[in-house]
Amino acid sequence: MHYQSPKKLEAVILDWAGTVVDFGSFAPTKIFVEAFASFGIDVSLEEARGPMGMGKWDHIRSLCNQEAVAKRFIAKFGHSATDEDVTEIYNLFMPLQIAKVAQHSELIPGALDAIQSLRNSQLKIGSCSGYPKVVMDKVVDLARTKGYEADHVVATDEVPRGRPSPAQALANVIALGINNLAACVKVDDTEPGILEGKNAGMWTVALRFSGNFLGLTYEQYQSLSANEKEQQRQRIDALFALCQPDFLIDTITDLPAVISQINQKLAAGELPSR
């Protein structure tokens, strides 16, 4: 038997918040601020966005390790945050997240049309998120009422390790019956999500404007001038540079055109960058 590289894509693995739902990725970030406040530590929205894309316990651990937050923690409690402290903050975070995720559940404008275009191209739709399953189930149910349902969903606590580990992306590959990782593309608005796709050997597409790095509502994004958008493109592209996505696009509405470009590359024998 001889190896043959794929000639076209078979599956797209989509992130959720900031990619398909919740323009600006506000549901997780605002709740981190509230959870830390309940624990007696002030964390800004900008600080909360820093580790976005990781599993939520790991996200809280990373926040506690940030120098500014760590100093506040020591000033408040006299010691650095332990794993037990992280778990206590996580336990404050979870009920808030479950209760309030519906406040930021709207589909990103144009997402349904873009995903339908992918389906028209016979692509399977996998998905994964930094949310644990108890939250992910609610996000999925809300999206279904608005017309979006992925072929498969993997929550961060359904695999041994969350992002940037490739485990969630690979779990989708297995469930969807895909034989070659180069026939898959991972789409995400965060660095851990892009690294997840690269570590899995997939094509990767980073989103500039609908997610964490811009951090604006859709209305705020729409109000930006052409010059402001271009400035933000350059800033965000620089932020994504270290994780080396194969493509950068503004929002999911630009994805079908990139899928066509990837198919052309596959047909010419090219494979995802590593």
Residue 135 shares a structural domain with residue 180: yes
Residue 173 shares a structural domain with residue 247: yes
Domain-embedded: residue 138: yes
Q: Which domain holds residue 68?
A: 27-103
Q: Dump pLDDT digits (tens) for 212-254.
A: 899 999 999 999 999 999 999 999 999 999 999 999 999 999 9
Q: Dump pLDDT digits (tens) for 121-174.
A: 999 999 999 888 999 999 999 999 999 999 999 999 999 999 999 999 999 999
- 133 catalytic residue (yes or no): no
Q: Which of 15, 22, 58, 85 is catalytic?
A: 15
Residue 182 shares a structural domain with residue 79: no
pLDDT tier, 46 (very low <50, low <70, confident <90, very high otherwise): confident
Residue 212 shares a structural domain with residue 258: yes
Q: Dump pLDDT digits (tens) for 252-262.
A: 999 999 999 99
Q: Given this model, what pLDDT does residue 104 score? A: 85
Residues in the chain: 274
Please give the tally of structural domains in the chain: 2
Task: Give the global pTM.
Answer: 0.88
Residue 125 shares a structural domain with residue 195: yes
- 15 catalytic residue (yes or no): yes
Residue (of 186, 190, 187, 185) closest to 236 by Cα position:
190
* pLDDT higher than 80, residue 25: yes
Q: Which runs of consecutive H residues, i.e. helices, occur in the chain? A: 26-38, 45-49, 56-65, 67-77, 83-100, 111-120, 133-145, 167-176, 191-199, 218-223, 226-240, 255-267
In the listed set 103, 136, 160, which residue is the last one of a domain according to the structure?
103
In the listed set 73, 103, 133, which residue is the last one of a domain according to the structure?
103
Q: Which of 56, 124, 186, 198 is catalytic?
A: 56
Residue 63 shares a structural domain with residue 113: no
Q: Dump pLDDT digits (tens) for 174-220.
A: 999 999 999 999 999 999 999 999 999 999 999 999 998 999 999 99
